[in-house]
Every structure is written in structure tokens, then in C-alpha cells.
Chain A
Amino acid sequence: MESVINTLIIALLGTGGAAFIWAVARSIIAWKNSAELREDKAVARLEKFEASCREDLEFERRVSAYWQRMAGSMEHVLIRNGLEVPPIGSPPQRGSARSV
């Protein structure tokens, strides 16, 4: 019985010690990577990063829309002058990542 208790105690201490060493290593990595160490600011920084990603996405959409309009007006010019418009293929299918 005593050996079981000793094994249990050593397992508990060993697990705690191992988790501590792992946590210290991860904290050092975080510090070296200039990660935010304050709890509230870590979340705020995530939100800020997410907002900047959304802003970039919105910009890309605007760029894409601009070139779509440009392509449309060029097609219009081609058709008005009796020229053949190059085929644009079929529209992309929902659920498929492949572009046609």
C-alpha cells in the first residue's frame, strides 16, 4: 500500500514538475517572439490583428471589383466593335475550391 501511495505522490509531483518545465519553455518562446504577456492586451492584440486582416480583405475585394468592372467595360468595347469576346468559362460551383 505504501509503495502505491509513494508512486502516486511521485507521479503527481512529476506531472506538476513536467508541466512547469513545459510552461517555462513556452513562456520563454513567447517572450522571445515578443508575444503580448498581459492577458487583456493579448486578446486586444488578437482583435486588432483580426481587424487589420478584415481591412486587407475588404481592400482586396475593392481591387477585384475594380478589375471586374474594367474587364466588363473592355468586353463591351469589343462587342460594340464587332470583335469576339474570349470565353470566360462556367461560374464556380459552391463547395468546390477549384476555380474554373
Chain B
Amino acid sequence: MPDGSRKRDKWLRVLMPMAYFCMFAAGVLLFLSDAFAELGPIAYVMGGFLVVGGAASLWGSLTEKWVGEFVGLPLLASSFGVFGVIQAVPAFDAYPLIALANLLLLWSVADLLLGRWRQVKAVSTIALHVSEKERRWNR
């Protein structure tokens, strides 16, 4: 019988916040870098996405609330996609295969983040569906 005490895997409770903290910290470090300003406004938007998305996802994974990852993961996935392009473009002339490999690696991480987002979205659908049904039931 359900008792509401289902616990997530204890390693997941460490690994996920660590990953999100690294993404958040990467965003902060990018803002602190002098070279970052030379990349223009797009880089600032991308850095902002990393910081906001990383912070939201970190909060969500620490408190085990789906809202955090649900809000943060699209920003993180998008910034990984953009970061892949920004990294690959200048290196493409000198090392085309390595640049392409870097691009694919970063895009694959973006893809994994989107995969996790789909899982969280399913939980959000369940939560909304149940609250809606309960509301109708108790009317």
C-alpha cells in the first residue's frame, strides 16, 4: 500500500545536486571571466541561463521538488547547446574534428538534460492531474 514514504536513491540525492552545482558554478565563473565580455550579449544570456537554471535545478534536487528542475532544465539544456556552438566555431578551422567532437559531446549533455526534463514533466503532469481530479471530486 502507498504510504508516501518512498525515498529516492541516496546516490541520486548526492549526484544530481553536485551536477547542478557544477553547472551553476560554471555560469558564475563565466561571468567572472574578462574574456567572456568579448563574446557579446548572447554569451551573457547563455551565462544567465546557466546560473538561473543551475540554481533552480540545484534547489529542486536538494528539496526533491520537481518545480526546480522543471523550470531550470530547459535553461541548462539551451545553454549547453549554445556553449557547444560557441566552443566549436573558433576551433573549427584549426581542428575541425575535435571541434565537432566537442560540439557533439556538449549537445549530447543538452539532450540528456532534456531527457531528464521529460521525466520531471511527467511528474508535473501527474501532480496537476491528481490535484485537478481531487478538486472535482471534492466539489
Residues on A facing B (Cβ under 8 Å):
5-6, 8-10, 12-13, 15-17, 19-20, 23-24, 26-27, 29-31, 33-49, 51
Indicate whether A40 sits within 8 Å of B74 (C-beta atoms), given known contacts A13-B46, A49-B130: no
Q: How close is A15's CB to chain B, nearest CB, in angstroms?
A: 6
Indicate whether A24 sits within 8 Å of B131 (C-beta atoms), given known contacts A40-B6, A43-B6, A46-B126: no
Give the residues from 1 to 36 in chain B that come closer than 8 angstroms, CB to CB, to chain A.
Answer: 1-8
Instruction: Determine the main DSSP class of A at the interface with B.
Output: helix
Residues of A within 8 A of B63 (CB): 38
Alpha-carbon distance A33/B120, docked complex (angstroms)? 18
Alpha-carbon distance A13/B46, docked complex (angstroms)? 7
Indicate whether A13 sits within 8 Å of B49 (C-beta atoms), given known contacts A27-B70, A36-B131, A40-B4: yes
A17 in contact with B70 (CB, 8 Å): no
Alpha-carbon distance A30/B125, docked complex (angstroms)? 9
Residues of B within 8 A of A13 (CB): 42, 45-46, 49, 78-79, 82
Nearest A residue to B63 via CB reads A38
Q: How close is B67's CB to chain A, nearest CB, in angstroms?
A: 5
Alpha-carbon distance A42/B89, docked complex (angstroms)? 43
B82 in contact with A12 (CB, 8 Å): yes
Nearest B residue to A1 via CB reads B89
Residues on B facing A (Cβ under 8 Å):
1-8, 42, 45-46, 49, 53, 63-67, 70-71, 74-75, 77-79, 81-82, 85-86, 89, 120, 123-124, 126-135
A33 in contact with B82 (CB, 8 Å): no
Alpha-carbon distance A6/B46, docked complex (angstroms)? 13
A39 in contact with B4 (CB, 8 Å): no
Residues of B within 8 A of A12 (CB): 78, 81-82, 85
B2 in contact with A44 (CB, 8 Å): yes
Q: How close is B102's CB to chain A, nearest CB, in angstroms?
A: 15
- Given A9-B42, A16-B74, A37-B127, 16 new contacts (CB under 8 A): A6-B42, A10-B42, A13-B49, A24-B71, A26-B128, A33-B132, A34-B131, A37-B66, A39-B66, A42-B127, A43-B6, A44-B4, A46-B126, A46-B130, A49-B130, A49-B133
